[in-house]
């Protein structure tokens, strides 16, 4: 690598690379850790932790379309108490900065979870998955109105000993209000987008395909949607943006970095190719060298000039 | 064994039954690394599929991995069109494995491509001097990959093949479940099962209280224990088929959600 | 065909088939009319007409992804005066009921356009494309708030001599409020979804691909998103729903009809295969026969039972 | 002629240059139905592409349609892999056509696959007893589909081939634009042009005031005049390349937006 990929995420951390692994697609299983140990990953986000344990949604939980998947895992996890007790056991061997993703059913639950997370030392940030798991699973955020959204971000920022990243669902990105509200209420960074609410039918059986009826769409097909959102939101906030949605190769990563992301995050394609980060970085390297670009700020400027 | 990925050359890809193929992959990294019951995650195509597809190991000898797969959808159709000389990427070895009992009398019960991990297992069982009988069921003669099974006959003490419909004497008409009634199951120390969910569910009734392991299939996201796409209910709580399984005790699986 | 595909769109019309051709993908060119003359199409929607002529967006206007396209045509049209003057010339040979799609820059423009359309006799309905063409082209509706949205639907319903269909952009479908508001304000039917706001980058050149920077995504990839929206909105309104988004075969059409659509509309794939309607109907026919289902109400009921 | 669709059998699909192919389709419906300049919309693949792709007619004789296409992206790559015996769906005949002048001296100026509609035109022009010279440019020898062009030499009075780089005498080094300076253009009554936008733009300068027609390429949605995806600016306003064109008067095209 010719480039210094150190990525400053404001007061969160200086990451070794701008590539993050998204919530729900990073895990601590041995098989996975074997595969990623040599990857230059900037940070990893835990699966979203809730206050109480959740057993997740009925099978099937994953549908695959031509270039997307729809999932309804249902935030299966053992709850924050179990998470904190086992944190050292599960995470001490992870060679990357850890961001803890959390989700609550209401404003007060977020604060309770944060207080529990405060007992830990090593995470670099807490990511708020503000997608109302009980209204709709993964990423279906419509129920949370702007006011309670802002209050949640504010309370979490106040209480948390770690910097806060606010993760936006696509429907919180249709204009810039949610992003601006998160910024005003103390978030240190913004990440977007979560999965797009979606539904798949088993036509032959005239029934929903997923055990949970509805789910969230992710993967390559959502990239143009996510990209537009990062592009718009970049213009209206100053906090760093972690861009994600369908990243599957270095061009996707560059696109997000061009339109305004400070770091990018890989979700679905990390399930398929845990060795993607280094492949992406190597190709970014070639690209920047060829274009005689020295850092991502310069890349952003070049793109801005072409607007 | 550490999990790893490898670009494997396809050595050949041969049609073995109506919609069944045996594909042979050349491996360097995974020579002698598979335990019976392990599976791998294979990228059928980078163009037409998103996720990898899980397949059990039928056999691995001398760095030649054989998989027996059936064409059921976009991924396996694409895989059936892949040609020798081309490369596919795999992640392996994945999952837990069957408990290989020594010096026992055991029965393998398999349906469709469920025979794949069982045939692999039979090799390990015979090495440990267990006596292996096999009861395998298929839809019909076209569905029966005779070559694959006959190839492994030496390891099998008895081999019973059931076909849903047949009038040939060498086969038994009906399902494996039907045929099981004719066998004295008490003479076996252990049972190893793999096949369609409905068949497994029935087996779990019939084999209640026996020592029996089942290799399960579930729709997988990652196959490496990170996405919780493959979680199933068991008597000991939610378990991931890919990393807690695919081998479970037959009687710990709760079937109503499949 | 064994089935009677007559589709009642409330007071709009009884259509000969539940298949509609979407706005922007129907045209009056001779080449196209040659191709569709034997198709059993229930109705066709004109390209959206604005008050003044619009020359549309710079090239390129269309990007193609793996199973979607992103377009930024920019509502190129000659304006409503020209439309009305030439209506007979252009539309008298069209053998299908005609729905006129319109769009205005503000509430008052809609009314002006409607008044002009009132001079015509033959359309069966007017469809309101409430996607703020001047804020963002095709289908990017975020700017229109609920109040002015409701007022626009109300005024149009009052003034129009034709029944009103309100077309919702995806961002007006993230909850059921817009649909309910349209119903309360006198719409006769609802159609959804318009294209999903999206952006594509020409990575190599570090610039937006589309001449207009942003556009709207349509085609097969958006189907799961659209389907979920129809599914949710069906529960909360009683007016008929025209479902669209990615329909490319009979299974897609059946899916929309199952989850609640009274009729379905083909957009992108009509550009590719103008003979799709009859192919779809033939296959629906086979499906219903095989399943021993006699009409679409029964289909909906079967699906509801499986929820 | 009414526009129609047809499933055409591929008769053959032959590589003619580095990335150029000639595909031959069997048609019943469109025998003798193409005018020079017409194009068709072809569905390269139902699996891997959404929209159809527009291609000019290189030749149609006896119900055999020939297209000359270059592999530039997903659709054409897929098309280059299609095998004879397979079927592709086309919509045809589309667009307007060149004005076929009779008993004139004309020059065809083509670049890359832009030679396709011009070669088709040359046949019609010779039938009308016009004298046809051709100036065709390519990147290099590998890019030059010699067989295609030589096949049509009988219809051509003069044929000049330019290659961006060459040291062979039979070719002229440089671009068509370079070579044009060596030709006395005033001796021609008419010019027909097709090729890359940059080349056409330069031509429109050089041929200002002359009788000249150009066949344009634009990214198309439908190809049948309904989506306005292909609109371009002309001196007479916005025009659709697919239905108002693809043939325009060279001097009516406004180039700055291409
Ligand atoms: C541990 C394990 C071992 C397996 N071993 C074999 C084997 O040896 N031979 C064999 O033929 N098949 C085996 N299968 C099933 C095989 O993975 C599926 O048939 C295959 O994934 C279908 O892919 P498709 O694209 O053709 O089907 P599609 O239906 O188009 O696939 C769509 C999605 O559903 C998933 N899917 C569909 N059917 C199944 C299924 N039965 N099990 C799991 N996921 C499914 C796919 O992975 C994919 O994500 C195994 C499955 C598991 C979990
Ligand atoms: C009237 C007309 C006649 C043509 N005749 C020929 C011909 O005879 N031979 C030939 O090789 N090519 C011809 N072309 C260009 C040809 O259509 C494109 O090369 C082809 O569409 C590229 O498809 P792709 O999937 O390989 O490229 P991709 O770049 O992957 O295609 C993506 C999208 O861009 C469009 N596109 C890309 N390049 C062009 C282009 N130059 N013109 C129009 N659309 C483009 C495609 O249609 C598609 O929608 C013609 C174009 C037009 C408009
Ligand atoms: C299987 C799966 C599980 C996910 N679980 C979570 C989750 O627990 N919390 C969360 O914030 N996002 C979750 N997501 C969303 C991803 O983090 C990411 O925002 C989204 O998938 C878009 O990125 P992608 O297209 O690269 O996957 C999940 C996504 C997938 C595919
Ligand atoms: C090329 C194109 C042009 C469109 N123009 C319009 C338009 O003028 N007015 C409108 O309401 N919708 C327009 N749409 C949106 C479609 O009517 C439809 O709502 C959308 O494309 C989703 O359906 P589909 O996935 O079947 O295309 C256009 C879509 C396309 C692809
Ligand atoms: S498939 Fe991802 S956890 Fe099992
Ligand atoms: S390509 Fe659709 S109008 Fe020309």
Residues of C in Cβ contact (< 8 Å) with A258 = 201, 203, 206
Q: What is the pLDDT of residue C206?
A: 98
Is the CB of residue D68 less than 8 Å from the CB of residue D21?
Answer: yes
Is D94 within 8 Å of chain C by CB? yes
Instruction: Tell me which residue of A104, A101, A114, A105 sits closest to A159, measured CA to CA.
Output: A114
C48, closest residue in chain D (CA to CA):
D227
Q: Residues for chain D: how many in total?
A: 258
Cβ A167 under 6 angstroms from ligand 3: yes
* Strand boundaries in chain B, DSSP class E: 4-17, 20-26, 39-42, 53-56, 59-61, 64-70, 87-94, 105-111, 131-138, 158-163, 172-173, 190-194, 212-215, 231-234, 237-240, 247-249
Q: Please give the mean pLDDT across all residues of chain C.
A: 92
Active-site annotation holds for A132: yes
DSSP characters over D85-131: T-EEEEEEEES------SS-EEEEEEEGGGHHHHHHHHHHHHHTT-E
* Residues B66/B42, Cβ–Cβ less than 8 Å: no
Q: In angstroms, rounded to a whole number, what is the distance separating the alpha carbons of residues A126 and C304?
A: 40
The residue of chain A nearest to residue C214, with distances taken between CA atoms, is A228
Among D24, D36, D52, D55, the mutation site with the greatest number of ligand 2 atoms within 8 A of its Cβ is D55
Can you state the angle between helices A250-259 and A296-305, rounded to 10 degrees? 70
The answer to whether residue A26 is domain-embedded is yes
Residue B25 and residue B144 in one domain: no
Q: Residue B149: which CATH number?
A: 3.40.50.80
Half-sphere exposure of A127 (CA within 13 A, CB side): 30
> Distances from the Cα of B14 to the Cαs of A203, B19, B195, C81, D184, in angstroms?
33, 11, 22, 67, 65
Residues of chain A contacting residue B243, judged by C-beta atoms under 8 Å apart: 29, 31
Ligand nearest to the CA of C60: 2
Q: Is C64 contained in some domain?
A: no
A59: left (phi over 0), alpha (psi -120 to 50) or beta: beta
Q: How far is B180 from chain A (nearest CA, A)?
A: 30
- What are the DSSP calls for C239-301, one per residue? S-EEEESS--SHHHHHHHHHHT-SEEEE-HHHHH-TTHHHHHHHHHHHHHHHHT--SHHHHHH
pLDDT exceeds 90 at position C174: no
Nearest atom (ligand 3) to Cα of A219? 25
Is the same domain home to B71 and B116?
no
Could you tell me if D50 and D120 lie in one domain?
no
Residue C100 lies in a domain: yes
Nearest CA owner, ligand 2 atom 30: D73
Q: Looking at the structure, tell me whether residues D50 and D155 fall in a common domain.
A: no
For helices A107-117 and A146-159, angle between their N-to-C axes, nearest 10 degrees: 20
Put simply, the answer to whether C199 touches A227 (Cβ < 8 Å) is yes
Q: Which chain A residue's Cα is nearest to C220?
A: A66
Structure tokens at A135: 């209204």
Two tokens at A32?
A: 């996975």
| pLDDT given at position A110 | 94
Residue D35 DSSP one-character state: P
Shortest alpha-carbon distance between residue C28 and chain D (Å): 7
Bridge partners, residue B233, by sequence: B238
- D222 Cβ neighbours under 8 A, 6+ residues apart: C25, C27, C32, C271, C272, D41, D51, D52, D229, D242
User: For ligand 2, atom 6, which residue shows the shortest CA distance?
Assistant: D55
Residue B67 falls within a domain, yes or no? yes
β-sheet bridge partners, residue D14? D22
Instruction: Please check whether residues D90 and D123 belong to one and the same domain.
Output: no
Evaluate: CB of A77 within 6 angstroms of ligand 3.
Answer: no
**Is the pLDDT confidence value at C169 over 50?**
yes
> Mean pLDDT of all residues in chain D?
94
d(CA D31, CA D123): 16
What D7-10 contacts at long range (C-beta under 8 Å, 24+ apart), as own/partner pairs, is D7/D87, D7/D88, D7/D89, D8/D65, D8/D87, D8/D88, D8/D89, D8/D90, D9/D84, D9/D85, D9/D86, D9/D87, D10/D82, D10/D83, D10/D84, D10/D85, D10/D86, D10/D87, D10/D88
Could you give the number of structural domains in chain C?
Answer: 1
The residues of chain A scoring below 70 in pLDDT are: 1-5, 132-144
Domain final residue pick, B94, B126, B145: B94
Question: Do both D38 and D128 map to the same domain?
Answer: no
* Helix, strand, coil % in chain A, rounded to nearest 5: 35, 20, 45
Q: Which residues contact A12 (CB under 8 A, 6 or more apart)?
A: A124, A125, A163, A165, A188, A189
> Nearest-CA residue of chain A relative to C145?
A175
Name the domain boundary from D94, D123, D139.
Answer: D94
- Check whether residue B17 and residue B128 sit in a common domain: no
For residues A45 and A109, what is the distance between their CA atoms, to the nearest angstrom?
A: 20
- Contact assignment for A31 to B3 by CB distance below 8 Å: yes
* Chains in contact with A, where contact requires at least 3 CB pairs less than 8 Å apart: B, C
DSSP class per residue in B52-99: -EEEE-SEEETTEEEEEEE--SHHHHHHHT--TT-EEEEEEEES----
- Residue at D190 is within a domain: yes
Of D94, D125, D144, which residue sits at a domain end?
Answer: D94
Give the distance, in angstroms, between the CA of residue B251 and the centroid of all CA atoms in the same chain.
19
The domain tally of chain B equals 2
Q: Which sign does the torsion angle of CA A126, A129, A130, A135 carry?
A: negative
Asked if residue C280 belongs to a domain, the reply is yes
Q: Is the dihedral of CA B152, B153, B159, B165 positive or negative?
A: positive
Q: Answer for the pair C156, C114: CB distance below 8 angstroms, yes or no.
A: yes
Q: Which domain holds residue B34?
A: 5-94
Q: How far apart are CA D246 and CA D198, in angstroms?
A: 17
The residues that bridge with D64 in the sheet, in sequence order, are D26, D61
CA distance D202 to B197: 69
The verdict on D182 and D88 lying in the same domain is no
Instruction: Mark whether D31 and D134 lie in a shared domain.
Output: no
- One domain, residues B122 and B244: yes
Cross-strand bridge partners of residue A240:
none
Q: Contact partners of C by the rule of 3+ C-beta pairs under 8 A?
A: A, D
Q: How many CA atoms lie within 13 A of C268 on its CB side?
A: 31
According to the model, what pLDDT value does residue A3 have?
Answer: 63
Strand order in the sheet with D59-61: D53-56, D39-42, D87-94, D4-17, D20-26, D64-70, D59-61
d(CA C62, CA B35): 52
Instruction: Give yes or no: residues B28 and B115 share one domain.
Output: no
pLDDT above 70 covers a percentage of chain B that reads 100
Any domain includes D99: no
Give pLDDT, residue A134.
45
- Cα–Cα distance between D252 and A71 in angstroms, integer? 53
Q: Which of C43, C44, C124, C132 is catalytic?
A: C132
d(CA A6, CA A185): 27
pTM above 0.90, yes or no: yes
pLDDT of D1 reads 67
- Condensed to tens digits (0 to 9), the pLDDT of residues C151-167 reads 999 999 999 999 999 99
Which residues lie below 8 Å from residue D40, measured CB to CB, with a gap of 6+? D54, D55, D57, D65, D67, D90, D91, D92, D93, D94
Rounded to whole angstroms, how far apart are CA atoms C225 and C248?
Answer: 15
Judged by CB atoms closer than 8 Å, whether chains meet at A62 and B219 is answered as yes
- For residue C28, the 8-state DSSP code is -
The answer as to whether A62 is a domain residue is: no
Residues C149, C190: Cα–Cα separation, whole Å: 13
The DSSP bridge pattern shows strands D105-111 and D190-194 to be parallel
Residues of chain D falling short of pLDDT 70: 1
Q: What is the pLDDT of residues C214-271, one digit of tens each?
A: 999 999 999 999 999 999 999 999 999 999 999 999 999 999 999 999 999 999 999 9
What CA–CA distance (Å, rounded) separates B49 from A272?
Answer: 10
Given a cut of 50, the residues of chain B with pLDDT beneath it are: none
Check residue C106 and give its pLDDT: 85
Residues 6+ apart with CB under 8 A from C229: C168, C170, C173, C174, C192, C193, C245
Distance B219 CA to ligand 1 centre (A): 7
Q: Give the model confidence (pLDDT) of B173-209 as tens digits.
A: 999 999 999 999 999 999 999 999 999 999 999 999 9
What gap in Å lies between CA A201 and CA A236, rounded to an integer?
38
Structural domain boundaries enclosing A161: 7-57+69-196+217-304
3-state secondary structure at position B10: strand
Whole-number Å distance, alpha carbon B235 to ligand 3 midpoint, is: 29
pLDDT-derived band of residue C107, with 50, 70 and 90 as boundaries? confident
ipTM of the complex: 0.95
Three-state DSSP state, C207: strand
C2 inside domain: no
In a domain, D100, yes or no: no
Strand partners, D237: D234
Banded model confidence at residue C133, pLDDT cuts 50, 70, 90: very low
Where is D148: in which H helix or E strand?
helix D146-150
Q: How far is CA A86 from CA A78, A90, D80, in A?
A: 10, 6, 56
Q: Read off the CATH number of the domain in which D71 is found.
A: 2.40.30.10
- C-alpha angle A243-A248-A249 in degrees, rounded to nearest 5: 95
Query: What kind and span of H or E run contains D177?
Result: helix D176-180
Q: Are B248 and B204 in contact (CB under 8 A)?
A: no
Pairing of strands C98-102, C125-129: parallel
> Does residue D174 have its Cβ closer than 6 Å to ligand 6?
no
In this predicted model, what pLDDT tens digit does every residue of D80-117 receive, in sequence order?
Answer: 999 999 999 999 999 999 999 999 999 999 999 999 99
State how far the Cα of D11 lies from the Cα of C300, in Å rounded to an integer.
46
Which CATH number characterizes residue C168's domain? 3.20.20.70
B100 lies in some domain: no
Cα D91 to Cα A222, B246, D7, D42, D64: the distances in Å are 31, 51, 9, 7, 15
- Tell if the CB–CB gap between A71 and B224 is shorter than 8 Å: no
D128 and D209 co-located in one domain:
yes
C-facing residues of A in 32-61 (CB < 8 A) are none
Helix C146-159 to helix C177-184 angle (10° resolution) is 30
Flag whether residue A211 sits within 8 Å of chain B, measured between CB atoms.
Answer: yes
Yes or no, beta carbons of D243 and C31 under 8 Å apart: yes
């Amino acid at each position: 690598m010719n480039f210094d990929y150190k990525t400053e995420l404001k007061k969160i951390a200086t990451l070794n690379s701008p590539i993050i692994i998204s919530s729900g697609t990073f895990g601590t299983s041995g098989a996975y850790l074997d595969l990623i140990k040599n990857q230059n990953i900037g940070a990893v986000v835990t699966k979203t932790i809730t206050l109480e344990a959740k057993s997740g949604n009925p099978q099937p939980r994953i549908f695959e379309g031509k270039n997307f998947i729809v999932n309804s895992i249902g935030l299966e996890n053992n709850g924050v108490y179990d998470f904190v007790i086992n944190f050292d056991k599960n995470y001490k061997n992870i060679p990357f900065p850890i961001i803890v993703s959390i989700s609550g059913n209401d404003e007060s639950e977020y604060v309770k979870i944060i207080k529990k997370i405060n007992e830990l030392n090593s995470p670099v940030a807490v990511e708020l998955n503000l997608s109302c798991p009980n209204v709709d699973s993964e990423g279906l955020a419509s129920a949370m109105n702007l006011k309670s959204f802002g209050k949640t971000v504010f309370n979490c920022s106040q209480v948390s000993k770690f910097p806060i990243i606010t993760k936006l669902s696509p429907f919180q990105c249709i204009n810039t209000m949610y992003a601006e509200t998160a910024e005003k209420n103390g978030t240190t960074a913004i990440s977007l987008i979560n999965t797009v609410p979606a539904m798949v039918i088993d036509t032959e059986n005239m029934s929903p395909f997923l055990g949970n009826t509805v789910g969230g769409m992710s993967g390559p097909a959502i990239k143009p949607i996510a990209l537009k959102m990062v592009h718009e939101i970049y213009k209206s906030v100053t906090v760093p943006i972690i861009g994600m949605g369908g990243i599957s190769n270095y061009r996707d990563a560059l696109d997000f970095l061009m339109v305004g992301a400070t770091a990018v995050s890989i979700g679905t394609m990390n399930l398929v190719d845990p060795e993607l980060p280094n492949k992406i970085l190597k190709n970014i390297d070639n690209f920047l060298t060829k274009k005689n670009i020295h850092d991502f700020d310069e890349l952003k400027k070049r793109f801005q000039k072409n607007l | 064994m550490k999990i790893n990925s490898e670009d494997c050359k396809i050595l050949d890809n041969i049609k073995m039954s109506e919609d069944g193929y045996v594909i042979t992959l050349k491996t360097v990294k995974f020579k002698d690394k598979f335990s019976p019951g392990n599976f791998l995650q294979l990228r059928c195509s980078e163009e037409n599929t998103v996720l990898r597809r899980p397949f059990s190991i039928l056999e691995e000898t001398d760095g030649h991995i054989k998989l027996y797969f059936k064409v059921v959808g976009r991924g396996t159709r694409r895989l059936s069109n892949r040609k020798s000389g081309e490369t596919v990427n795999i992640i392996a070895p994945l999952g837990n494995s069957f408990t290989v009992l020594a010096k026992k009398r055991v029965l393998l019960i398999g349906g469709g491509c469920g025979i794949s991990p069982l045939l692999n297992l039979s090799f390990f069982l015979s090495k440990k001097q267990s006596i292996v009988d096999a009861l395998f069921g298929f839809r019909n003669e076209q569905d029966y990959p005779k070559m694959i099974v006959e190839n492994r006959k030496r390891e099998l003490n008895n081999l019973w093949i059931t076909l849903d419909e047949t009038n040939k004497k060498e086969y038994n008409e009906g399902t494996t479940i039907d045929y099981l009634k004719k066998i004295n199951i008490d003479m076996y120390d252990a049972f190893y099962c793999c096949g369609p969910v409905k068949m497994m569910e029935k087996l779990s009734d019939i084999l209640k209280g026996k020592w029996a392991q089942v290799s399960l299939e579930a729709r997988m996201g990652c196959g490496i224990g990170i996405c919780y796409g493959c979680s199933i209910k068991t008597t000991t709580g939610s378990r991931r088929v890919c990393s807690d399984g695919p081998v479970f005790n037959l009687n710990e699986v709760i079937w109503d959600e499949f």
